[in-house]
Amino acid sequence: MSDWRALPERFMNWSLKRPVRNGILFATLLCLPTVFSGWWLDDWIHRAAILGRIPIHHPGLGSLFTFGNGIKADVMARTQYGYGWWTLPDLKLNFFRPLSALTHMFDEKVLGPHAWLQHLHSLAWQAAGIAVSGAIFRRLLASRTAALATLLYAIDESHWTASAWLSNRNAWVSMVPAMLGFWAWLRAEDEDWLPGKIAAPLLFGIGLCGGETALGVACIWVAVALGRKPKLLTLLHLAPLGAVLAVWAIYYKTHGYGAAASGAYLDPGADTLRYLAQAIHRVPSLAGALFASLPVEISVLSPPLTWGMALLSVACVVLVLRGLRRLPLDSHDARAWPGFAVGGALALFPPASTWPSQRTLLAPSLVSAALVAMLLLGLRDLLADQPQLRLARLGRGALVWIHLIWSPFMMVAISLVIAVQAPVMAKLAASPTLTQLGGKHVVMLAAPDPVLSFYLPSLMASSGLTLPRQFNTLAVSVDTVAVTRTAANRIRLEALGAPLLSTQPEQLIMDPARMPKAGDILDVPHLRARVEKATAKGVTQVEFEFEEPLEGILFLEWHAGDVHLVPPPSTERTAILHETGVMGI
C-alpha cells in the first residue's frame, strides 16, 4: 500500500490512543476558519434583540427564538422590518430555547462585541459534546469501537452549523445536557448509582430547555435502553424521562410554541398527515446523509430528485444493516447495534419536520458514528483473515473515504463559506447608503438573497445604524424582474423568469400550500399587494399600492456588490437584472 493510501489508517490508529482529546483537537481545528468570521444571518437578529435595537424581536429567555408567534398583530408588525408582503398573518416560528437564549445573552453582556470570543464559546460546547459522547460510547461499546466512534462523531460534517454558526449553538446546548443525562442513566443502571437516577431526568429537562435537539437523544436513549434489559423493568426505569418529556410537551403547546403557516417547518402534532407524507422520503434521505454523506439538501433545491435521493439512501442503509448482521463484531457491539439502529431511525423523525439538511443531524450522528465504527473495525478483522475479499475491501475503503477524509474536508469547506460570507455581510453594514435610510420608508425592489431582504434591518440595528421607519422587499428573486409605475403611489412588478414566492427564503414565512392566486389582495401595514397573475408555482405579476406617493419613498437596488438608492420606477417598463447577492446566490 502506498504511503498516501495508508494515511487514513495511520491517522485513525494514532487518534484512537486518546480519542476524546484528539477528537476535540481535530474538531476545533476544522472549525477554526469561522472563529474570526464575525456574525452571520440569525446572529444579527439575536444581537439586535438583546441590545434592544429592533422592536419586532424581543430579548426574553422564552422569546429570543421567536420569529413569529401566530398572532396577527405581531406578525404583521414584522412586515415593517424585513418580513415580506406575502407573510401569512398566522405565521408561527416560535421555539422554546431559554438556555440557549441565556448563552447568547452571556455573549453580549459578558464577552462583549467580540465575535471571536463568542465562537470560542460555541467550540467549548462542541468540546463538551464530544467528551460526553465518548463517555456514552465507553458505556455501550467495546473499547476500540468506542474510541473510533468518538473520533467519527467529533469530525462528522453534520456538526458544522452547530459549531460554526453562533445562532445554531442551540443544538449543542440542547445535546450536551441530554447526553449527560443519558450517560448518568446508563451508569445508574449498570452500577445502581443513585445520583444518576436523580440527575438523568433533570439533565434531560435542561437539554429540552436548550432546544428540540434533545428529542433525538431521547429516541436513542429509549431504544438502547429497551435493547439492554427486560422491557417492563426498563420502562419503569424510563418513567421519569417520560414524565419530563410530557411536562415539556404540555408547556410547549400551551404557551404557543411550535410552527405554523411556514413552508420550512411542519408541526407533527397539528399537521400530522402532511408531516408523515414528507417524513416518508425525508427520513431515509437523512439516513443517507449520515452514512454516505449524500447531499440531502438537493431534494429541496431540486424537488424532482427527492424520491431518487430517498431510494439511494435506502440502498445505503440496507448495506449498512447487512454488514452489521454478517460481520464478526465484538460481543459488546453485537448486543448494542440493534438498539442503536432503532434509536437512530427514531431520532430522524424530529428533523423530518423541517427542510432536509445535515445541520439537523447532531443527535442521529451519535448513532451513525457508532455503527460506522463497528463496520470499519469488523471489516478490518474480516480482511485480516480473508484479504482476498474485494467487495469487503471496497466497502471499507468507501467508509474510510467518506468518514475520515470527505467528512472533515467538508467541515472545513463549509466553515470557509461562513468565514468568507460573514465579512462580506459586515462590509455591507458599512455601506454609505444604509446610513441614509434612518427614519425613512425604504423599499428594496428586488433582493437577490435573504440578506438584502429579511435580514437587512437586523444587520443595520446590530451595527448601530438608525432603522428605517418601514422596510419592504417587493421580491426575493433568483431571476430578472420588471417594474412599472402605474399610478402616483403604485408599482407593478413582473417576474420575467422564475415566479415570485418560489424560493426557500420566501417560503420560510409562507406555506406554499397557501400560495396566493390571481385576484387575491394581501394587506400589510402601509402597503397593499394585488396579485394579478399567478400559477401553481408562484406569483408572476403583482401590483403594489403604497399609502404615500412614490416620491416620499427611498428605493433600493443591489448592483455591483452594494446597495444603491435609485429613483422611483418610471411609467416605462424597466427590467432589473439579477446579480449575485451577498451570499453568492
Q: Residue 572 — pLDDT band, cuts 50, 70, 90?
A: very high
Q: Report the C-alpha gap between 249 and 246 in whole angstroms.
A: 5
Whether residue 1 is predicted with pLDDT greater than 50 in this model: the reply is no
Q: Which residue has the higher pLDDT, 40 or 204?
A: 204
Whether residue 15 is predicted with pLDDT greater than 80 in this model: the reply is no
Q: Is 99 helix (H, G, I), strand (E, B) or coil?
A: helix
The cell numbers describing 335, all together, are: 448486543
Residue position matching grid coordinates 418529556: 245
Sheet holding 66-69, edge to edge: 66-69, 92-94, 258-260
- How does pLDDT run across 222-241, given as a tens digit for each residue? 999 998 887 888 899 999 99
pLDDT value at position 84? 95
Whether residue 14 is predicted with pLDDT greater than 80 in this model: the reply is no
Whether residue 118 is predicted with pLDDT greater than 80 in this model: the reply is yes
List the beta bridge partners of residue 289: none
Half-sphere exposure of 170 (CA within 13 A, CB side): 26
pLDDT value at position 4? 56
pLDDT value at position 220? 97
Among residues 464, 433, 462, 538, the alpha carbon closest in space to that of 496 is found at 538
pLDDT value at position 3? 56
pLDDT value at position 306? 86
Q: Report the C-alpha gap between 369 and 148 in whole angstroms.
A: 8
Which residues are CB-contacts of 305 (< 8 A; sequence separation ≥ 6)?
A: 298, 299
pLDDT value at position 296? 87
Among residues 268, 450, 448, 465, the alpha carbon closest in space to that of 352 is found at 268
Please return the burial class of 521, using the count of CB atoms within 10 Å of its CB with bins 0-12, 13-18 and 19+. Answer: exposed
Whether residue 299 is predicted with pLDDT greater than 80 in this model: the reply is no
Region 290-311: mean pLDDT is: 85
pLDDT value at position 73? 94
Strands (E), 347-497: 441-444, 470-473, 481-487, 490-495
Whether residue 477 is predicted with pLDDT greater than 50 in this model: the reply is yes
Among residues 213, 252, 220, 216, the alpha carbon closest in space to that of 238 is found at 220
Q: Report the C-alpha gap between 12 and 280 in whole angstroms.
A: 36
CB 574 within 8 A of CB 493: no
Whether residue 130 is predicted with pLDDT greater than 70 in this model: the reply is yes
| Dihedral class, residue 295 (left if φ above 0, else alpha if ψ from -120 to 50, else beta) | beta
In this structure, the number of other CB atoms found within 10 A of the CB of residue 478 comes to 16
Q: Is 35 helix (H, G, I), strand (E, B) or coil?
A: coil
The mean pLDDT value of the chain amounts to: 92
Q: Which residue has the higher pLDDT, 13 or 502?
A: 502
Q: What percent of the chain has pLDDT over 90?
A: 79
Region 428-439: mean pLDDT is: 93
The cell numbers describing 440, all together, are: 425613512
| Dihedral class, residue 476 (left if φ above 0, else alpha if ψ from -120 to 50, else beta) | beta
Which residues are CB-contacts of 209 (< 8 A; sequence separation ≥ 6)?
A: 96, 97, 98, 99
> What are the φ and ψ backbone dihedral angles of 19, each rounded to 5 degrees?
-65, -40
Whether residue 253 is predicted with pLDDT greater than 50 in this model: the reply is yes
CB 133 within 8 A of CB 179: yes
Whether residue 398 is predicted with pLDDT greater than 60 in this model: the reply is yes
pLDDT value at position 315? 95
Region 447-461: mean pLDDT is: 93
Whether residue 488 is predicted with pLDDT greater than 80 in this model: the reply is yes
Region 121-141: mean pLDDT is: 97
CB 470 within 8 A of CB 526: yes
Angle, CA of 251, 252 and 253, to the nearest 5°? 90
